[in-house]
Structure 1
Amino acid sequence: MKEKAIYSFYNGINCAQSVLTSYADHLKFDSDMTLSVSNGFDGGMGKLQKTCCAVTGSFMVLSMSNPRRHLENIDDRNATNEMIQKFTSDYTILHGSFDCRTLLNCDFTIEEGEKQFRDLDMKKNICSKCISDSIN
């Protein structure tokens, strides 16, 4: 799954899409739908550099792996929340943060930050590792 996610990331889809679509076959969900639903998570939530979109992709995978949707399934919802909390804790220990701007240490919402992102090949040196570490 990691190889599929990294390949997809280098071929034009965002971090959240890469993580989520790498699980499409395993969880038996439509990969076109996953591309649509995770489209706006690029660059840490709509290029706002908030939560790393590899993390949000993982949140979606964890939610979809526990697909109880009915309001009366409080236990299932709590179990999903616990999985997300554990994932977030583990990811933060590994990377020091789950905030895109902190992880990249640049502001790519400005031209100077975009240049820094490219010049330091952060796509390869940071984002790829975040994607890989988001996949179990």
Structure 2
Amino acid sequence: MRKGEVCGACTGALMALGLKYGDSKTKSNEVCEKFLDEFEKENRSYICRELLNCDIRTEEGVKYALDNNIFKEFCPKMIESATKITENYL
């Protein structure tokens, strides 16, 4: 967490998909890849620092995110996007 890697909304979605399709590694991998592809297509990336346009691994990045209400205004949109995409696979 707070490393600027895969978006937390995506991580949660991937966990849910893993629970649903975990009996088949092949199917789980296929669905998770499709999810990430769809999320990236809709949001231009699934990497946090690319989505936020700042690097929250740094104090400056966190300050920028807080000053611009990114966690309160932008991140919920990513959660909504991840949820809608995930619903198609559940």
Q: Shorter chain as normaliser: what TM range? A: 0.7 to 0.9
1:102 alignment counterpart: 50
Matches within 5 A, 1:65-84: 65-68=20-23, 76-84=24-32
Distance 1:61 1:112 in 2: 33
Counting matched residue pairs gives 84
Post-superposition shift, 1:93? 0.5
Given the alignment, which residue of 8, 12, 15 partners 1:60?
15
Given the alignment, which residue of 40, 48, 56 partners 1:92?
40
User: Is residue 106–residue 113 contact of structure 1 (8 Å, CA) maintained in 2?
Assistant: yes
Post-superposition shift, 1:124? 2.3
User: Is residue 55–residue 61 contact of structure 2 (8 Å, CA) maintained in 1?
Assistant: yes
Q: Which stretches in structure 2 are left out of the alignment for 5+ residues?
A: none
**With structure 2 as the length reference, what TM-score do the two structures score?**
0.84
Distance 1:82 1:109 in 2: 30
Q: Deviations over 1:79-135 (max 9, x none)?
A: 111110110111001110000110001122222211110111101222111111111
SS of residue in 2 equivalent to 1:134: helix
Post-superposition shift, 1:52? 0.8
Distance 2:61 2:36 in 1: 26
Distance 1:108 1:130 in 2: 16
Equivalent position amino acid for 2:8 in 1 = C
Larger Rg: 1
**With structure 1 as the length reference, what TM-score do the two structures score?**
0.58
Post-superposition shift, 1:63? 0.6
Give the number of the structure whose residues are more often helix, by fraction.
2
Q: Which stretches in structure 1 are left out of the alignment for 5+ residues?
A: 1-41, 69-75
